[in-house]
Amino acid sequence: MTGTSGTAGTTPERHRPPFGRIAPAMVTPFHPDGSLDPLGAQTLATHLVDRGCDGIVLNGTTGESPTTTDAEQDRLLRAVLEAVGDRARVTAGVGSNDTRHTVELARAAERAGAHGLLVVTPYYSRPSQEGIARHVAAVAEAVGLPVMLYDIPARTGVRLHRETLLRLAEHPRVAAVKDSAYDLLGSARVIADSGLDYYSGADELNLPLYSVGAVGAVSTVANVAPEQTRAVLDAHTAGDNAEALRQHRLLLPLIDAMMGAAPGTVTAKALLRLLGLPAGPVRLPLVDADPELVGELAAALPSPVG
């Protein structure tokens, strides 16, 4: 849905991937007592789409999926779909390290109206590549939605191998990869050899991956700087590589501040609270940013696009 209207203007045509192009990995807003805030989620999602995001990814790592219940995830998904589902592609994170549970979550997300699914590589148990392939196939066979694989070996303990990606790409519903593997050469080879739509899952690599054929970004930083995140890819799409590099460099201090000192959920929520947007606290075992970190984050916020 590239070209969704918003304050960021019209995006030049390149490719219309099924999960959008700029898709914040949205935080899950909570009330001060730690309970789910569906109205806050609607407000935040609307804010992001109004500022040029054509996708939203819910119930991922940044959305605190490890500490939200299945019922909370379903309620959040339905609330966001109601708010922006006609203007943005809403993707539901359904991954777990239990294939049966993942299938249940995928079916529930489809019933709720999700446009796509994010399926992380099963973590902790460190399955073989054969086990990963069977896990993904079981999910893809259980639903009629496009599936985005999530390759993040630093968290899962296992990498999606090139051969596994090429094998999974043959499934008609395996459509994309959220790439947090930090292997530009390996990713570029899979992009070239498969029909998979690649999304950067690491904000510092949004521009490098886009330049070798990725179609967009699933971005933590876009929670607080949606227009600036989009501006990088817009400039590259328009053929203005110098402007793309300039916008990328303007975002680097914020990326460094948000992704270096604490988990992205913690830093994104701290900045959203500072900006007066719904966020609320994080849930244990995460802890909220201390005043020193909040000051460092505030100092790294970029100026408006222009």
Both tokens of 203, joined, read 């904000």
Element (H, E) at 107: helix 99-112
Peptide bond before 285: cis, by omega within 30 degrees of 0? yes
* Among 178, 198, 199, 210, the one annotated catalytic: 178
What are the backbone angles phi and psi of residue 44, rounded to the nearest 5°? -65, -45
Closest by alpha carbon to 75, among 45, 38, 111, 43? 38
Q: Which residues pair with 90 in a beta bridge?
A: 56
Is the separation of the CB atoms in 4 and 198 below 8 Å? Answer: no
How many residues are there in the chain? 306
Both tokens of 302, joined, read 């970029």
Closest by alpha carbon to 219, among 176, 180, 269, 277? 180
Q: Is 269 a catalytic residue?
A: no
Closest by alpha carbon to 109, among 119, 120, 101, 117? 117
Both ends of the chain: CA-CA distance in Å?
Answer: 24
CA distances from 284 to 34, 58, 67, 211, 264 (A): 10, 19, 8, 38, 14
* Among 150, 198, 199, 210, the one annotated catalytic: 150
Q: Is 198 a catalytic residue?
A: no
Is the separation of the CB atoms in 176 and 17 below 8 Å? Answer: yes
d(CA 5, CA 93): 25
Instruction: Enumerate the active-site residues.
Output: 150, 178
